[in-house]
């Protein structure tokens, strides 16, 4: 299982986030890289990039929340931060033999896209993982 698949699984397995976004198996509003429907709001897209390789790998995870409603966007962002900002001592877990040591919210920002009349919030995380062999 790739780190992208792990993050997707973590996001879609949270009932509160799924409810906030309106994600269903048919209406997939949480996806990697490209939204399934750019005109169906709100939605979440995320991108994973290798940041540092070693015994424990570090990835940068950019999560973009797009919504027509700024309050809705902020609620979704808070839930994503609650899910992904942790240290292993607080909430360690393993997904398909990949241990996630920590995920840290390191920044982001909010943008209003005038042409589309939508808000975009970027959340940036560093995630440390190790494949258990």
Helix 3-12 to helix 70-84 angle (10° resolution) is: 120
Residue 107: its pLDDT value, please? 96
> Per-residue pLDDT averaged across 111-133, rounded?
91
Q: How confident is the model at residue 124 (pLDDT cuts 50, 70, 90)?
A: very high
pLDDT in tens, 2-43: 889 989 998 999 999 999 999 998 899 999 999 999 999 999
pTM: 0.90
- Delimit the domains of the chain by residue range: 3-131
Domain 3-131 has CATH 3.30.2000.30: yes
Indicate whether 99 pLDDT > 80.
no
Output the six-digit token pair for 12.
């879609």
Q: Report whether 21 contacts 37 (CB < 8 A).
A: no
Report the pLDDT averaged over residues 102-117: 94
Q: Write the CB contacts of 19 (distance below 8 Å, at least 6 apart in sequence).
A: none
pLDDT for residue 88 is more than 70: no
Residue 89 reports pLDDT greater than 80 = no
| 3-state DSSP assignment of residue 90 | coil
């Amino acid at each position: 299982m790739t780190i992208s698949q792990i993050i997707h699984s973590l996001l879609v397995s949270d009932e509160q986030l799924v409810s906030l976004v309106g994600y269903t198996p048919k209406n997939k509003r949480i996806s990697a890289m490209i939204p399934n429907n750019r005109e169906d709001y709100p939605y979440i897209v995320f991108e994973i990039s290798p940041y540092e390789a070693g015994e424990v790998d570090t990835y940068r995870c950019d999560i973009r929340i797009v919504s027509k409603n700024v309050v809705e966007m902020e609620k979704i962002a808070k839930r994503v931060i609650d899910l992904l900002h942790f240290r292993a001592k607080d909430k360690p877990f393993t997904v398909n033999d990949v241990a996630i040591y920590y995920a840290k919210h390191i920044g982001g920002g909010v943008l209003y896209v005038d042409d589309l009349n939508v808000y975009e919030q970027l959340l940036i995380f560093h995630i440390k993982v190790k494949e258990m062999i």
